[in-house]
Structure 1
Amino acid sequence: MKKWTAMAVVTTMVFTLASMSSSAAPLGASGKDKAIDKKEKQGAVLSKLSSDAKVTWNEKKGVPNFVAGKLSNKKVKSANDAVAVLTETKDLFDLGSATDELSLTVQSTDDLGTSMYKFQQTYKGVPVFGNQLILHTDKAQNVSSINGYYDPEVKVKGINTKAKLTGTEAVEAAKASLGLQGVEQFDIQKASLAIYPTAGDYALTYVVTLSTLASVEPVYKDVFVDARTGEIVDTLNKMEHAAAVGSGKGVLGDTKSINTDSYSGGYYLQDVSKPMNATGGKVITYSANNGTSLPGTLLTDADNNWNDPAAVDAHVYSGMVYDYFYNKHGRNSFDGAGASIKATVHYSSNYNNAFWNGTQMVYGDGDGSTFIAFSGSLDVVGHEIAHAVTERTADLVYSYQSGALNESWSDVFGNLIENKADNNWLVGEDVYTPGTPGDALRSMSNPPAYGDPGHMDQYVNTSSDNGGVHTNSGIPNKAFYNFVTTPGITRDNAGKVWYRALAQYLTANSQFIDAKNATIQSATDLFGAGSAEVTAVTNAWNNVGVGGAPTPGDAYEPNDTQASAYGPITSGTTYNGTINTSSDNDFFKFTTGASGAISLSLTSLPADYDLYLYDANGTQLARSWNGGTSAESISYTASAAGTFYVKVIGYNGASSSTAYAMKATYPAAATGTWVYEAKAFDTPHPYTNNYNNGTAHTYTKAGATKVAVHFSRFETESGYDFVSIKDKAGNVINKYSGTQAAFWAIVDGDTITSNLVTDYSVTAFGYTIDQVGYFVPSATVEGANTSFEMPIIGK
């Protein structure tokens, strides 16, 4: 099950809703001025989502950055269909025109059968730097999520998009700002227009990317040049150093087999055995000969017995990194298209670093005291090539939280590729301070041991190191460690989740909360919503303080989803809960004994909270969303007895440690007795594709007012093969999918049917029903089995 979450509070909201009562308001009713009431517009879209939809918010802009659930009834088979859905939901994002403001950059379908459409935000045809929206569909072409960053303020600023400078002039200004006027050799030299946020405003800029090793220090930077004035707006350092990883031969003394390429009279240090060679790609290793010219000299040897340890390790480890991404994730080289992987060793003299410069890997020899040759470490090599993979996928901006994610994802893949039998979760231990055993640059299992934070309450606010990209990487590193070391989670499955999050969900400006959402959604895609992987990755992020951690003393947690709703609650009793984080929401449930009036109240509000009522199917029946801290109330008349759910949520991420007061008043449940009988219903094990057992598994008990069936085992393909629970009239009361623990399903009346319907691919065990139960409105039933109480029904 999924949940609504919220990311943060928008404190600049000035419209007043406090005087407007929404008690018993019919769905869709308004009377508010929709032209100025963004909340009403967003609510109209949100009200169409199912109760288990998940929404997180962008604090600064007051729009979502992640929405998952049933978002549209439209099938998405093309980019035009994706634009149609974004147009349909545009009020949620405060989007003006999807056709005018979004430009498709990536369209792909993966091996799960899901499709991705990535759109770049533009303004008058100019890209808005770092802002993308990604729309995903499941294999049935239904929209499953929209995530990313869209800035609604850009379109109202009236930015002048006519440049006064040429791209060439911008490049020269950027070179001058970096002291590179006399440099002639550049590996990358390009300029493109982009809207870039400045202090409280936006500027039309040229993004000038420069990469060169022909200067005193290597340079790989984005320089933002004002396209009208020529002023330097900002500079981002894209040089992604390893500065902390390790393992290998040659350098450490082990002997390796090396893939080389022979020629008449000798051998080249290039590997042509990889699948990328079908399109000309190779693993190629050069030497800079302690200079700074790149790529340097292609290494050769007369007898194929190589005596350059740094080169041997760089070459072999580059091949191992290629093999990991190709075999584990189906990625053909760092660009996904079979590009050559180039590495240069012996860069400069006593150079204490390794880096990706936008086109290749470069390794220093170290000074022999602080570091030995960086290429001697497999996780260093994996770390660097992972930066290249990141650049070709999410392209995480190398500053602050997005930069820390960039570093962390490289640490993660470096560790997964290295895969030491005695994994100590250290980064750089094999090449760092050779005279000091057991130390390292970072620890993924215990970041504070090396001065890095392992929890959000230790987050380091700094402008150095591009906003602490290496330091704060400790937080997502610890989250991955928490995830991969959870009992039952394999390294391969953990790697699949992290890779999918990078390739499918993260965008340039992604923050830690976005990484949490991305990994949870990836685990859901791969293993199902109720899987151990989803639970483990959610807990992993919660335990480092990234969203979702319950406030100590909240007796009703965890109750963030309809599936985990607290209850049944008692009619007329006040429940004091807390919306303690921007990603928290609270569900409660109760069962009425008859038709009649249901009244809900939400008072003592510390922030802008909203109130919702749902039926057992997750259909929204009523809502109340007054502004500010005004009380919320709902009055609803139920036509029949049933189970209902209450949801309390902070609007736009509102939260507080102060408790609210929620009370539900409803018709009391009927008194009587549950009676249980042994009964066997089984689907085929496993069931077949395109299976439908219709009404074959139907149980009837004359005179009963409720009937139930007990599933002792339940396993179906999550999200595609469903079991519907129907009443006597054939109405679907509940729907289940995936792997469930043993549970009861119940309907009103004297007849219940369990109907399994499967799709065209993938099968599973199915289900076994071993007991049935019926409820009769009397104190006892002579001779009947009433030895245990009917548990709370449903998933």
Structure 2
Amino acid sequence: MNFGRKFSVLIVLFLLSFTLIFSAGKVDLSGVMKINYNNDTKAPLYMKGDLAKPTKKQRDPAKVFLKKYESLFRAERLDEESKKIKTVRDLNGNKNVKYQQYYKGIPVRGGQFYLEYRNNSIVSFAGKIKPEINVDTTPSISEGSIRNIAINSVPRGENREVKKMELMIFRDKKGIYHLSFKNHIRGKNYYWVSYVDANSGETLLKYNNIKNVSKTAYYDGTVEINMDGSQYEDTTRNTWVENDSGTIYTEGADTTQNEKCVQLLWSTSMALDYFEQKLNRDSWDGQGGAVPVNYVSSETAFYYNGEITIGDATSTSDIGFVGDLDAVAHEFSHGFCENSANLEYSYESGALNEANSDIVGNSVERWVSGDTSDWQVGEDAMRNGYDFLRSMIDPSESYNSQPEYYSDRYTGSDDNGGVHINASLGNKFYQLLVDGGTWYSENNGDTTVQGIAEDDAISIWYDAMTTKFTSTTDYFEARDLTIASAEDLFGTGSTQVEQVKNAWAAVGIGSPAGSDDGGGGSDEEAYEPNDSMSEAYEVTSGNTYNGYIYDSNDIDYYKFVADSAGTIDLELSNLAADYDMYLYDSSGNQLDKAYTTNDPETINYDISSSGTYYIKVNGYNGAY
């Protein structure tokens, strides 16, 4: 791949007291084969290539990587402010280490990433490093006051209290950083999270952290389970069925209770067996961790704090519980998510969390039953004439209709920002990836997907969940990262890679294979497309920008706003070839140009009024 040639631009505007500067330090990208950027932060989302090796002075290739590319990420002291969380092996057996970003010793929300090792070298990066953090790390509000604010910010609950609070750097949707306290508010069957600004007391984000669905009990007849004597416990698989007090149920005279305990133990065993046999993963944490199932006599189903809770009761409601295999597997998969990507349970990351549970839960059920055409979620959970809770093949037919493509998604704050509602986008992506088909989205029209079958599809999803997704991954980032997983597993340009692109495009996320391949970030440069004045990338004060000329026809435009008359100094430097620079006003009139063979090229120009101004960079006679 022709990665393009780099340049740097320095702009200084002396407009009364206003100064704008942007520039890029030299970064050696010669070993980078592919790079995708995050649309929000303009920092790398994914990198692949010969990225870093040990040196004589630094034997840890991860520290070499973080130091080498810190200016590309626009983050200081990355090698010192990144801490290992855990090490995992991907489906190819390669070592992947997950890291947490810190700022002056305080964890950064969403600042998590994976580095992949091969032969003691770093060959890929996936995740998020938050750029240009500059925030006071001393709280001005007492922890006691923060606790009261957090408690009052969430709904009432039985015996609720702040069980844990931790300082965290929080980046809001406008790109502003806050010193915040993350409050874990718990009670009986109650778990909310509330981020509170440590200086203003503003509630920055809150969400219900109990992962729940609604399902019912229709039984599977005679099944085979392992039991420890008369107790409903499978010591081989490390799972059991217990009551609210933590006492394991034993076989007794209550036939109905016996059958329900058998059902739950069998369903959990099937989820464990699927992970072991299909994904080579030992339990939901990959380390053989215990899986307790709390059976209660009320209609409920949720995952909370390392335990599945399932219950049912005689009811006239439309939805019941225990007997649905994919209900139990769905909740089990929340435990898997918590021990892998740990997707935050709000807005798009929460929708991906729910989609993961539907995808894996449904996969468990289809694996057990052998019915590969079953794309219904909760079909064994419904009463009163309803057929299923959610449809992965036709989201509009779900019990509560769901969006069929991204532009039709729910954008409100109910349901933790639509975590169940918008799960349909991930669900339909996965169903198309497995089966293939043609699906309509508003931005792409009809898109046809060639199915790659279950084994390849679940491998790609699992690889992304365990080595690429992080806590705040959104749908467009998931698109780029599942493409990266498909490339890792099956090779660049493979059918699997092309169909991942098509399946996401079918639900309105990114473009189909063979088009511009636009996705969650842009390939190779964060500011593309910026090939015309109408597409000019807007620059802001204090940020760092890396520009590239990719071929003889590439032209890059940037724009900035001047608040008043003054003098503009422009500098174009670090040139890989003979590049020229031009300055225009908002009407497209050329004001000045720098077209020598110098490095740097410079422009010094007096403007007489405020307004929007444009910079064009291109190669002389097609140079690049």
Distance (Å, rounded) in 2 between the aligned partners of 1:2 and 1:286: 59
Structure 1 residue identity aligned to 2:381: V
Contact 2:404 2:424 (C-alpha < 8 Å) held by counterparts: yes
CA deviation after TM superposition for structure 1 residue 389, in Å: 0.9
State how far apart, in whole Å, the 1-side matches of 2:594 and 2:34 are: 22
1:326 to 255, 272, 276: 276
Specify which of 226, 232, 237 is matched with residue 259 of structure 1: 226
The letter for the 2-side match of 1:71 is: L
Alignment-derived partner of residue 551 in structure 2: 613
Calculate the aligned-residue CA RMSD, in Å: 4.1
Q: Is residue 2:35 matched to residue 1:54?
A: yes
* Shift in Å, 1:436: 1.1
| C-alpha contact 2:90 2:463 (8 A) present in aligned 1 | no
Distance 1:482 1:583, change over 3 A: farther
1:199 positional shift:
7.5
Secondary structure of the residue aligned to 1:45 is coil
Q: Which residue of 2 aligns with 1:151?
A: 130
Q: CA deviation at 1:90?
A: 1.0
Structure 1 contact 523–534 (Cα < 8 Å) conserved: yes
Q: Alignment partner for residue 214 of structure 2, among 238, 243, 268?
A: 243
- What is the 5 A alignment of 1:365-764? 365=312, 368-371=315-318, 373-419=320-366, 420=369, 421=371, 423-432=373-382, 434-436=383-385, 439-450=387-398, 451-486=401-436, 489-549=452-512, 558=515, 583=522, 606-608=535-537, 611-613=549-551, 622=577
Query: Which moves more between the two structures, 492-501 or 402-411?
Result: 492-501
Q: Which has the higher helix share?
A: 2
Could you say if the C-alpha distance between residues 29 and 427 of structure 1 is closer, same or farther in structure 2, counting changes exceeding 3 Å?
closer
Residue type matched to 2:24 in 1?
E
In the superposition, the TM-score normalised over structure 1's length comes to 0.60
- CA gap 1:47/1:100 in 2 versus in 1, 3 angstroms: closer
Listed as ranges, the gaps of 5+ residues in structure 1 are 5-25, 275-281, 288-293, 551-556, 561-578, 587-601, 615-619, 637-659, 667-795
Partner in structure 2 of residue 45 of structure 1: 27
**CA–CA separation in structure 2 for the residues paired with 1:118 and 1:126:** 17
Aligned partner (choices 163, 171, 183) of residue 159 of structure 2: 183
Q: Could you say which structure has the greater relative contact order, defined with CA pairs below 8 angstroms and 6 or more residues apart?
A: 2
- Aligned partner of 1:364 among 302, 308, 311: 311
Total equivalences in the alignment: 538
1:446 CA drift (Å): 1.4
Instruction: Please say if residues 24 and 71 of structure 2, whose CA atoms lie closer than 8 Å, have aligned partners that are also in contact.
Output: no
Determine the C-alpha separation between the residues in 1 that align with 2:583 and 2:314. 61
Within 2, Cα distance between the matches of 1:584 and 1:27?
14
Q: Which amino acid is 1:103 matched to?
A: K
Deviations 1:490-522 (A, max 9, x none): 312211111111111000110112211221111
Aligned amino acid, residue 440 of structure 1? F
Q: CA deviation at 1:83?
A: 2.0
CA 1:45/1:312 → structure 2, altered by over 3 Å: closer, same or farther? same
TM-fit CA distance, 1:361: 0.8
1:444-500 CA-to-partner distances (Å, cap 9, x unmatched) read: 111123321121121221111111111111111111111111456231221111111
Quote the offset at 1:328 in angstroms. Answer: 1.9
1:264-343 pair list within 5 angstroms: 267-274=230-237, 282-287=238-243, 294-301=244-251, 308-343=258-293
CA offsets, 1:296-348, max 9 Å, x none? 54211159987533322111101111111122222222222222111122343
Distance 2:303 2:520 in 1: 38
Q: Is the 8 Å Cα contact of residues 53 and 61 (structure 2) preserved in structure 1?
A: no
For structure 2, the residue ranges without an aligned partner over 5 or more in a row are 13-18, 437-449, 526-530, 538-546, 553-574, 598-615
Task: Verify: 1:92 aligned to 2:72, yes or no.
Answer: yes
Which of these two proteins has the greater Rg computed from alpha carbons?
A: 1
- SS of 1:268's partner is coil
CA 1:48–1:261: 2 relative to 1, 3 Å:
same
Between the aligned partners of 1:3 and 1:211, the Cα distance in structure 2 is 50
TM-fit CA distance, 1:394: 1.1
Equivalent position SS for 2:138: coil
TM-score, scaled relative to structure 2: 0.75
**Percent of residue pairs bearing the same amino acid type:** 28
State the alpha-carbon separation in 1 of the partners of residues 59 and 203 from structure 2.
37
Distance 1:406 1:253, change over 3 A: closer
Answer whether contact 2:74 2:132 (CA < 8 A) is retained.
no
1:605/1:206 CA distance change after superposition, 3 Å: closer
Q: For the structure 1 residues 317 and 75, does the alpha-carbon distance in structure 2 shift closer, same or farther, using more than 3 Å as the test?
A: farther
Name the SS for the 1:474 alignment partner. helix
1:198 Cα deviation from its structure 2 partner: 5.2
Instruction: Read off the aligned partner of 2:77 and give its amino acid letter.
Output: S
466 and 302 in structure 1: CA distance in 2 versus 1, 3 angstrom threshold: closer
* Paired residues of 2:577 and 2:619 also in contact (CA < 8 A): no
CA distance in 1, matches of 2:44, 2:582: 19
